[in-house]
Structure 1
Amino acid sequence: YAATYATGLLCARRLLTKYDLAETYEGNTDNIGDDYNVQADKDERQPFKCFLDVGLVRTSTGSRVFAALKGAVDGGIDIPHNDKRYAGYDLQDKSLDPEVLERYIKGGVVAEYA
């Protein structure tokens, strides 16, 4: 999960650097466990917008494809999404637990296993 998040983050930063948007849209620099949406400045260029195409990948809650989505969104790309599929989303409470998501992103689940 951590490697997939990092791949999405790296792709986002490289893409924004290529189109000279990296300084305008820095992405999520505060808390990686919280849900983040790119906000457009009225005076600046619009953020780079793309859509997630999962293809044949299974879209269960906590899937790696959503880690890549989270990384790309945190990197500064505008991707329409919902936090219901992130790791750490509780179906009964209908809320995202940012601590659990951050633990997955930082590889804490792997550290507990080892």
Structure 2
Amino acid sequence: YAATYATGLLCARRLLTKYDLAETYEGNTDNIGDDYNVQADKDERQPFKCFLDVGLVRTSTGSRVFAALKGAVDGGLNIPHNDKRYAGYDLQDKSLDPEVLERYIKGGVVAEYA
């Protein structure tokens, strides 16, 4: 999960650098467990908008494809999404637990296993 998040983050930063948007849209640098959406500046260029195409991957809660989505969104891309499929989303409470998501992103579950 952590490596997939890092891949999404790296792809977002490289894409924004290619189109000279990296300084304008820095992405989420504070709380990586919280849901983040890129806000457009009225005086600046619009953020790069793209869409997630999962193909044949199963879209279950906590799937690695959503780690790549989270990394790309935190990297500064504008991808329409909601947080229902992130790791740490509770279906009973219908809320996202940011501590659980941050633990997955930082590789805490792998450290506990090893």
Q: TM-score range by the shorter chain?
A: over 0.9
Report the Cα offset of residue 30 of structure 1: 0.7
* TM-score (normalizing by structure 2): 1.00
Report Cα offsets for 1:49-100 as digits up to 9, x if no partner: 0000000000000000000000000000000001000000000000000000
Unaligned runs of 5+ in 2: none
RMSD of aligned residue pairs (Cα, Å): 0.2
Q: How do 1:7-18 residues align onto structure 2 when only pairs under 5 Å count?
A: 7-18=7-18
The separation in 1 between residues aligned to 2:83 and 2:9, in whole angstroms, is: 17
Regions of 4+ moved over 6 Å: none
Report the Cα offset of residue 19 of structure 1: 0.3
Report the Cα offset of residue 2 of structure 1: 0.1
* TM-score (normalizing by structure 1): 1.00
Report the Cα offset of residue 34 of structure 1: 0.1
The separation in 1 between residues aligned to 2:21 and 2:15, in whole angstroms, is: 8
Report the Cα offset of residue 33 of structure 1: 0.1
Report the Cα offset of residue 7 of structure 1: 0.0
- The alignment covers a number of residue pairs equal to 114
